[in-house]
Amino acid sequence: MRTPREVREVAVVVNTASRRGAAALERSTAALAAAGLGTVRTHPVRDGAQLAATLDRVVADGPDLLVVGGGDGTVGCAAGRVAGTATTLGVLPLGTANDFARTLEIPSDLEGAVAALVGGRVVDVDLGRVDGRPFLNVASVGLSVEVTERLTPALKRRLGPAAYPVATLAAYRHHRPFSARLEFPDGDHEPLEVDDLLQVAVGNGRHYGGGNTVSPLASIDDHLLDVYAIERGRLRDHVSIARFLKDGTFVEHERVHHVTTRRVRLTTDPVRAVNLDGEVVARTPAVVEVERNALHVVVPRTSRAAVLDGRRADEAR
């Protein structure tokens, strides 16, 4: 599949427990069917515990297009399953942050997202992996894990995107610093040891945390990971760094260590949990690497985030 118009089989998996999922399922399915994108089959997921099994079953059937509605965690779960297959991923951003959709310039409103699926184009993007586990946006340890633990479903329902700064402030007040060693198996950088840390993050995409930017040049299609480590420092340092989270220029701060690479081994003292796009599912030590052009996804024709330049592009020539 190189364009949405080539679709014969469409599977729609919507996390109806997500912030806008329940209301979106019927509307999106009807719109896709009316657009003539082949046979459309729906698979509502009413409990997060059902998601993995539902995706396994759906992907095994080999649809041309898998449309996933939910937040970044839901989309990332699907991405790991369709990576390297003939199935293309479509995204309905129905969560709180929707950073993957933001990176790909997919509209946040349902009508706009469906229009992108119908009239968009297919690109291939990179996928990050932590010891084999997939992530789309950022894998991190430190403050972000503590923020995730405070981002309860009730808080997100009540505050929406504003839940992120509220949870971040609460996590910051209780944060305990840690040490980290970063090793680069490909030999592109010398090992880096840093103490008294606030956070270490490895970005595959461009956006994370509800609209923050990994770095000014970060891209989900550059076949690189952006690695940064933030020292705890003083309160005024944190305030200074926070001012530039939105545009990514915080990586230029003297308290931030930043490199790009294709693979990094992260060890921490003490052992730390690893947050993958809002899901705490790994622990250090961990190897983080990029799988280039692993995932095919539909984006708006106006999106500047990626191109089709992998295997399918070669087949089209």
The torsion angles phi and psi of 280, rounded to 5 degrees, stand at -90, 100
Are 150 and 279 contained in the same domain? Answer: yes
Domain that holds residue 12: 4-126+293-316
User: Total domain count for the chain?
Assistant: 2
pTM of the model: 0.91
Are 257 and 267 contained in the same domain? Answer: yes
Strand 9-15 and strand 65-70: the pairing is parallel
In tens digits, the chain (317 residues) has pLDDT values of 666 767 889 999 998 876 677 778 888 888 888 888 889 999 999 888 899 999 999 999 999 999 999 989 899 999 999 999 999 999 999 988 899 999 999 999 999 999 999 999 999 999 999 999 999 999 999 988 888 888 887 887 788 778 877 887 888 887 889 999 999 999 999 999 999 999 999 999 999 988 999 999 999 999 999 999 999 888 788 788 889 999 999 999 999 999 999 999 999 999 999 999 988 999 999 999 999 999 999 999 999 999 999 876 656 55
CATH code, domain carrying 212: 2.60.200.40
Are 209 and 143 contained in the same domain? Answer: yes
Are 237 and 300 contained in the same domain? Answer: no
pLDDT at site 59: 97
Are 235 and 298 contained in the same domain? Answer: no
Catalytic residue among 111, 279, 291, 315: 279
Are 210 and 98 contained in the same domain? Answer: no
Token pair belonging to 194: 């840093």
CA dist 141 to 24, 79, 82, 126, 305, Å?
Answer: 33, 22, 26, 21, 26
Contact 30, 42 (CB under 8 A): no
CA dist 236 to 50, 199, 240, Å?
Answer: 45, 16, 6
Are 287 and 297 contained in the same domain? Answer: no
Question: Is residue 291 flagged as an active site residue?
Answer: no
Choose among 120, 141, 115, 145: nearest CA to 130: 141
Gap between the Cα atoms of 117 and 91, Å rounded? 8
Are 138 and 262 contained in the same domain? Answer: yes
CA dist 38 to 4, 138, 309, Å?
Answer: 10, 34, 26
